[in-house]
Structure 1
Amino acid sequence: MTQRPAIDTALALRREGEAAASSLPPLLVAAEHLASTVQMGGHGRRRAGAGAEFWQFRPAHEGDEARLIDWRRSARSDLQIIRDREWQAAQSVHLWVDDAASMQFSGAKARPEKSARARLLALALAVLMIRAGERVGLAGPLAPPRPGKAQLMQLAALLSAEGAGADYGVPEASAIIARSRAVFMSDFMGDPGPVQSALGALADRGVNGVMLQVLDPVEEEFPFDGRTIFESIGGTLRYETRQAGDLRSRYRDRLAERRALLASLARSAGWQFSTHHTGESAQAALLWLYAALERRR
């Protein structure tokens, strides 16, 4: 009998916890779980700058300020030695996830749509960045970069919303803060002109970033033969052929050309580019995104 109050309290706490969890957007729950598999910790950035934590000693280079020299350590060497401290000032990260109709494609029931994978990766990346002390928001005006759990809730709600009606997406860049960082996720199957314009404008504002092309394996392999009707998700484009297999080589060449163009545009802007397939591990893609975004230029 004496144990009953404790049992009742435990059951009440469990019900409260389940109710709180059920109120979270499913996308945020999945993103938190994915982020936990690649948790970097609070000191994963490893960049020199203003901060209290010692990082490393290194030889002084031209342009280093005299106040950064560790004179005691330098006295034991023939060189002047800099005492680097780990960079700790919060920066802004902007996310653009293509929500156009083309991103709704999946070539198999067992695989997620491209849009679902891209949104999951974007929010999981936001979880990691906010845990590391960064401010994260969207590339558009709806969610400026902010820190904290409340921001994750807002990002989850916005990323869970229905997409646009256009067949292919156009990057948003007007709200991205100068000298911040940005992440673009899309299949990049539409006109590359807007992508080039956005990257050029952002490079002029000192914005660094990464581009992740998200594709379904079917779009890479083109496993079609015989009579086939190709139709865009939005229904605005339609093409019928009786010998789809004859198109395979030309399609793959065009896809390779598009990927090479995207990689070239990224390099020109000082960005990094990679391709992720929805049949692959989301964890591997998240690791690449985090490392690429944090890599020193």
Structure 2
Amino acid sequence: MAQDTVQDMAHTLPPEVTEAHSLADRMPALLLEAQRVAHTVTYGTHGRRRAGPGETFWQFRYFDENDSLSGIDWRRSAGSDHLYVREREWEAAHTVWLWTDLSPSMQFRSALSGTYKDSRAAVLALALCELLIRAGERVGFLGHAPMTGRHATRRLAEILVRESQRGGSLPPAAPLSRFSECILLSDFLEPVAETAKAVETIAAQGVRGHMVQVFDPAEETLPYEGRTEFTDTEGGDRVIAGRAETLRDAYAVRLRDHRDGLNELARRLGWSLFLHHTDRPAGEALLSIHNRLAGLEQSYQFRQPTGRGEQAS
């Protein structure tokens, strides 16, 4: 009797509340997965190292005619035929903004993948936060203040659970610092014009960005056959196809046109667009995103975990 009552109460809860509970239930496991995925991406030291004002020694380089004589390191130069300049590392922290689409369309997992789209997006956001915080950067979620310190990833997890109650399909308008970077994780299934309006608002603030399209493999190939019912996860509309396989070609054309629109948007703004399928290892996407973010393609490598777990492609 009590069990039936609990089930009846669950059915009466608003969808956004049950989604939030679902993400909250999954979050401890997602945090552990994010930490594991972050450890598969290794980097030498600071992913954004470059010369500039600071106290930490970075490297020696040859003296050139544009350098001041006072910058010569005479001790290092004494044992060589060349003059050397001591460079320090620029220690100004950078801000990276994250946004994760937690709308109902992200609450999808087909038989071709063992991972929900929102779970994968959350893992990527948390793993990116972990890597960036280790590198001394500030990480913020759109609409929230940037974070630093070793507890930032856990605080981001708490923000994701709260944000799941709102479930917006597009990034919100938020004031961002100029020269910062923004990473948007979504299936980007909204009309391209609506997506463009939201993304252009971010880019207009002088922000460099990256769009990560998280897709279930079934959304890419439409593998269904025979009589199939399709349900709109956000609007609730239902369509029954007598032979789903006959829709495949038209679907592929429409999906290609939609993605071409996203690619054109990214190209026009000088942003990047990544496609990630949830049946692939999260480490692949994390590596690609973080390499582009750091701008040091050769400084990173994907390490294949030993034993059970994801395999590098």
For Structure 1 versus Structure 2, the TM-score category normalised by the shorter chain is: 0.7 to 0.9
Please tell me whether residue 39 in structure 1 is matched to residue 42 in structure 2. Answer: yes
Range 237-246 or range 183-192, more displaced:
237-246
Please tell me whether residue 155 in structure 1 is matched to residue 159 in structure 2. Answer: no
- Structure 1 residue 82: deviation in Å? 7.9
Does the CA contact (< 8 Å) of 1:96 and 1:139 recur in 2? yes
1:39 alignment partner, SS class: strand
Does the CA contact (< 8 Å) of 1:39 and 1:128 recur in 2? no
- Structure 1 residue 230: deviation in Å? 1.1
Alignment partners' CA distance in 1, 2:59 and 2:173: 34
Match of 1:89 among 88, 92, 105: 92
Match of 2:114 among 101, 111, 115: 111
Q: Which residue of 1 aligns with 2:223?
A: 223
Cα deviation per residue 1:101-152 (whole Å; 9 max; x = unaligned)? 00010012851100000000100100000000001120123xx112012322
- Structure 1 residue 263: deviation in Å? 1.7
Cα deviation per residue 1:199-244 (whole Å; 9 max; x = unaligned)? 3222222111211000000011111222222112235332222232
Q: Which residue of 2 aligns with 1:5?
A: none
1:265 alignment partner, SS class: helix
Q: Which residue of 2 aligns with 1:53?
A: 57
Does the CA contact (< 8 Å) of 2:112 and 2:218 recur in 1? no
Alignment partners' CA distance in 2, 1:109 and 1:220: 11
| Alignment RMSD (CA, Å) | 3.0
Counterparts of residues 99-248 of structure 1 (less than 5 Å): 99-108=102-111, 111-141=114-144, 144-161=145-162, 163-164=164-165, 169-248=169-248
Does the CA contact (< 8 Å) of 2:113 and 2:278 recur in 1? no
For residues 38 and 199 of structure 1, do their structure 2 counterparts lie closer, same or farther at Cα, with a shift above 3 Å needed? Answer: same
Alignment partners' CA distance in 2, 1:260 and 1:236: 27
Alignment partners' CA distance in 1, 2:247 and 2:266: 29
> When the two structures are superposed, what TM-score results if normalisation uses the length of structure 2?
0.74
- Number of residue equivalences: 265
> Whose RCO is larger (CA < 8 A, sep 6+)?
2
Cα deviation per residue 1:26-82 (whole Å; 9 max; x = unaligned)? 332221122112132532323343333324647979xx8869976988xx78xx998
Question: Which amino acid letter does the alignment assign opposite residue 135 of structure 2?
Answer: A
1:236 alignment partner, SS class: coil
1:247 alignment partner, SS class: helix
Aligned-residue identity in percent: 38
For residues 236 and 58 of structure 1, do their structure 2 counterparts lie closer, same or farther at Cα, with a shift above 3 Å needed? Answer: farther
Q: Which residue of 2 aligns with 1:17?
A: none
Range 89-98 or range 39-48, more displaced:
39-48
Q: Which residue of 2 aligns with 1:10?
A: none
Question: Which amino acid letter does the alignment assign opposite residue 157 of structure 1?
Answer: E
2:195 alignment partner, SS class: helix
Q: Which residue of 2 aligns with 1:276?
A: 276
Match of 1:29 among 29, 32, 37: 32
For residues 68 and 31 of structure 1, do their structure 2 counterparts lie closer, same or farther at Cα, with a shift above 3 Å needed? Answer: farther
Alignment partners' CA distance in 2, 1:226 and 1:180: 49
Alignment partners' CA distance in 2, 1:60 and 1:138: 43
1:149 alignment partner, SS class: coil
Does the CA contact (< 8 Å) of 2:63 and 2:72 recur in 1? no
1:160 alignment partner, SS class: helix
> When the two structures are superposed, what TM-score results if normalisation uses the length of structure 1?
0.78
Does the CA contact (< 8 Å) of 1:210 and 1:273 recur in 2? yes
Range 84-93 or range 274-283, more displaced:
84-93
Question: Which amino acid letter does the alignment assign opposite residue 272 of structure 2?
Answer: Q
For residues 255 and 60 of structure 1, do their structure 2 counterparts lie closer, same or farther at Cα, with a shift above 3 Å needed? Answer: farther
For residues 126 and 113 of structure 1, do their structure 2 counterparts lie closer, same or farther at Cα, with a shift above 3 Å needed? Answer: same
Q: Which runs of 5+ in 1 are unaligned?
A: 1-23
Alignment partners' CA distance in 2, 1:91 and 1:39: 20
